[in-house]
Structure 1
Amino acid sequence: MLRVLAVDDEKPLLEELLYLLRSDPRVRSAEGASDATEALRRITRALESGPDGPDGIDVVFLDIQMAGLTGLDIARLLAGFARPPLIVFVTAHEGFAVQAFDLKAVDYVLKPVRPERLAEAVRRARALLGRSDGAEAAEPAMAAAGPTVPARRGPVPEAGADLGVTTGAGAAAGAAARSGERVPEQIAVELGGVTRFVAIADIAYVEAQGDYARLHTDEGSHLVRIPLSTLEERWAARGFVRIHRRHLVALGRIDELRMDAGATSVRVGSAELQVSRRHARELRDLLMRQATG
């Protein structure tokens, strides 16, 4: 089975790539590096350990355009070693393919990464390494079914209804109702080329991750390429309120409001989220209005 290092300086994309790799039964371990310096440190340790050592790496899944050294630069450095790990480039750009294969890359996978395409890259790497451990039979089922997102949060109580208040989320809700604007019931989520539809009512809170947002539900989390500010505006009519620059929360999913030494936080299921000072007072008012009907 393969020992893999995935390298990408966009953290959400790195997490998705690692998730897909770890879902492949032919991958024994998959670790991540978020920049070229960290990647080179991990690879150097692997080379010093030797191919059969505890830190060994068989394949590096490598983004090309990164801050500082590019993936091509890393591949050129590795070409100077006697037994470097295999390289699979994973990139959103088609224009580097010739350079990649000049550097003896095993494969060139375009983003957004499809599970079946990544599975083919894993198969090619295994074939070059001469690995055979009986895991191939699991590949068709994995590619056909697509990955499932593991649960990361505990139980979350039933979502609340429209709040009927005149500030914050309630104001936006009233505006949407007056304009006759239809509030969407679902959001489309892309994962490895598969589109899923997540009910907004199932979302407990949303976490900002750069230009992306991670939606947390009872069953797990989903990544979408939408800024948190956009979701705040769109979902105000669904009872979502901003509590922090990083978090948007469904008001009806808040289990507890905690105030300690001037700091405010809320518990949503098993997650405890900080509330910024600028949002604390409005949030308290909204929760009190909700509690008193």
Structure 2
Amino acid sequence: MTADREGLTVLAVDDERPALDDLTWLLDAADTVSEVIDATSGAEALRVLSSRDDVDAVLLDIQMGGLDGLELARLLGNFRAPPAVAFVTAFDEYAVDAFGLNAVDYLLKPVDQERLEETLRRITLRRSGPAARGATAELDRLDASVGTRTVTIERDDVEWVEAAGGYCRVHISTGESHLVSQTISGLTCAWLPHGFVRIHRGYLVRASAIREVSNVDGRRTVQVGAEELPVSRRYAKLLQDVLTNR
């Protein structure tokens, strides 16, 4: 594809050729992408990035032989002008580590075109600089279909979110809940800076909505409104840190 600086230059990294081919095909089909480069290892990706300074974003797998995706992202953080990073993986359990590395997004395989376009919009906003007011501003509001109507949900009204396959059910302060076309990993990435905390692979909650934390026989839960939600071991330390500093 011919480079055009009006669009994004994206480096796709995956050590499994079929998965890499699928991702590059989707990227090639995106109107916001002008050039796609691929690499089959973290080491190859570093070589590409060392020879080019025009890469806007790196979309990479996490579990790769040799230099894995998280290690590569840490190295990119030391670049003078690091590209945006989004993870594309089959595993949800690395989300906390990814968000700690300031990832733009966290996509679960198999990725569809619409979900990838959302990631590319975030990358474009981040590339645009301060005028964009951050790559996650577009998720201040969510739209949900209710019969023939579209309901707009304000992020500030949401108390907790539960995963529902490739969608999420958001629960708001009025007691209502709505199904939205977002993944819980995507909402975690967008809402972590706005007072939300992941407590489980299936739950994201507003820290200020937590009324009580319980630990009975090694089973930790939080009380949010009338709901008691489980806290997994993986997210327990993150929850503790957030509650300590809120």
TM-score (norm 1): 0.41
Higher RCO, 1 or 2 (CA under 8 Å, sep at least 6)? 1
Structure whose CA Rg is larger:
1
